[in-house]
Amino acid sequence: MSAHFLLGIFDSIYLLALAAWTGEILFFSFAVAPIVFSTLGVETGERFVRALFPRYYAWGATAGAIALPAFIAGPLCYPEFRGPRIGVQAMLILGAILLTLYSGNSLTPAINAARDEGPSGDARFRRLHFRSVVLNVLVLVVGIGLLVAFANRPAPRTSGIIEPSPVERVQGQANAAHRAEPVDEGGERREPREDSPRLVDPKL
C-alpha cells in the first residue's frame, strides 16, 4: 500500500468531514435560522430549534472527531508535511470540537433555562444567546480557514514512506537471520557448537 494511496484516503475523509461540519453551520446560519420563526411562529419555532440543536452540535462534534485523526494521519505518510503548521491546525480543530461540545452540552441548556424563566431571564438569555452566536461564528471561521489551508497545501515532493508488505517483511527477517549465521574461515556457514554460550532469558 503506497503512501500516495494512504494520503488519498486520509485526505478524502478529512475533507468530507470538514466540509460536512462547515456546511452544516452555513446552512443553519443562513438558510434555516432566518426563516424558522417567521414561518413556524415563535412558539413552534422555539420547539423546533430546541429539538434541532442537540443534533446540530452532535453532528459538528462527530465531524470534528473524524476530521482530526484523518488530518494528523496525512503527514505520517509524507515527512515534508510535518512541522509546526500541522500542530497549529490540529489544535484549531481540537479547539473547535471543544467549543462545539461546550455549546451543545452546557451553553444551550443554560439558554433554554433562561428562556423558560420568562421576563426575569431576558437579560441572561440575550447574553447567553450572543455568546452562542459568537462561538458559532468562530467555529465557522476556523472551518473555512482550514478548508483554505487544505486547498493551498503544496504537492508532495517525495514518494513518502515505504511500508513493506507482510511477505516482504517476512523475507527481510529471513535474510537478516541468514546473514547472522556463523561463518568459518573458509567462508562456509557452520552450525553453532553445542558448548558455545547461549543467551538465557532470565524470566525462564
Residue 193: the pLDDT is 55
Q: Measured between alpha carbons, how far is 99 from 119 in angstroms, rounded to an integer?
A: 28
pLDDT tens for residues 59-82?
999 999 999 999 998 887 778 778
Q: 126-149 burial string, b = 16+ CB within 10 Å, else e? A: eebeeebeebbeebbebbeebeee
pLDDT per position in the chain (204 positions), as tens?
677 788 889 999 999 999 999 999 999 999 998 898 888 888 898 899 999 999 999 999 999 999 999 999 888 777 877 888 889 999 999 999 999 999 999 999 999 999 888 888 889 999 999 999 999 999 999 999 999 999 998 877 777 666 666 776 677 677 766 666 555 555 555 555 555 445 444 454
The answer to whether the CB of 114 falls within 8 A of the CB of 124 is yes
Sign of the torsion formed by the C-alpha atoms of 180, 185, 187 and 189: negative
Predicted TM-score (pTM) of the model is: 0.76
Q: Measured between alpha carbons, how far is 151 from 145 in angstroms, rounded to an integer?
A: 10
Residues 6+ apart with CB under 8 A from 21: 59, 60, 63, 64, 67, 143
